[in-house]
Homo-oligomer: A and B are copies of this chain.
Amino acid sequence: MKALEDRILKDGVIKPGGILKVDNFLNHQIDPALMYDMAVELKRLFGDREINKILTVESSGIAIAIMTGYVFNCPMVFAKKSKSKNISDDVYSVEVPSFTHGNVNTVVISKEYLHENDKILIVDDFLATGAALIGLRSLAAQAGAEIVGAGIAVEKVFQGGGNKLRAEGMDIKSLAAISEMTDDGKITFA
């Protein structure tokens, strides 16, 4: 999606350790019109499938996911980072390691909001190692729900998570796929 690639080139900042800082428009300050345009693009990419629910994980996936739910006219559910180690029986739960923060979060979804007959589009702002997608796939599997596909704003292809999950059968489409990033600030799209 050219508008997103252009925005990354204009406002993205590369930080040491393979971090792409896009908090000017994607995950701290957020450009609502861009979120809407990305949701419309996801509708173009996945609109021919039967999808009844958008799934993401807090926090920075929520903005694009709610817009996607709006365009798809279906509910959005976000997995929550659990505050306690004591997981109750009324949630599905999974451990998700964070690439950015170097820790592990337990994320949960209430069993009320994920069902066997759900046909799910996962939406997230970033795909790097794939940890969040693997976690959400596990939550869906616990519920017996079907993952129809995953729509990602920015994929860092060189971190390998996306292609590993594609090889395992997940239909992932990224709106901007970065094949290379150099410490001196050069970004190459796939």
Contacts and interface: CB of A to CB of B under 8 A. Distances in A.
Interface string A59-73: 100110011011001
Task: Give chain A's interface secondary structure class.
Answer: mixed
Given A36-B70, A66-B67, A73-B33, A28 B78 contact: yes
A33 B74 CA distance: 8
A80 interface: yes
Interface residues of A, number: 33
A110 interface: yes
A47 interface: no
Assembly of this chain: how many copies? 2
A32 B76 contact: yes
Contact of A32 (B25, B58, B69): B69
Given A35-B70, A62-B59, A113 B29 contact: yes
Nearest to A98: B83
Contacts of A70: 32-33, 35-36, 67
A75 interface: yes
Complex A-B, nearest 10 residue pairs according to Cβ-Cβ distance, in ascending order:
A32-B70, A32-B69, A58-B59, A63-B66, A29-B113, A62-B62, A59-B59, A29-B77, A30-B76, A32-B66
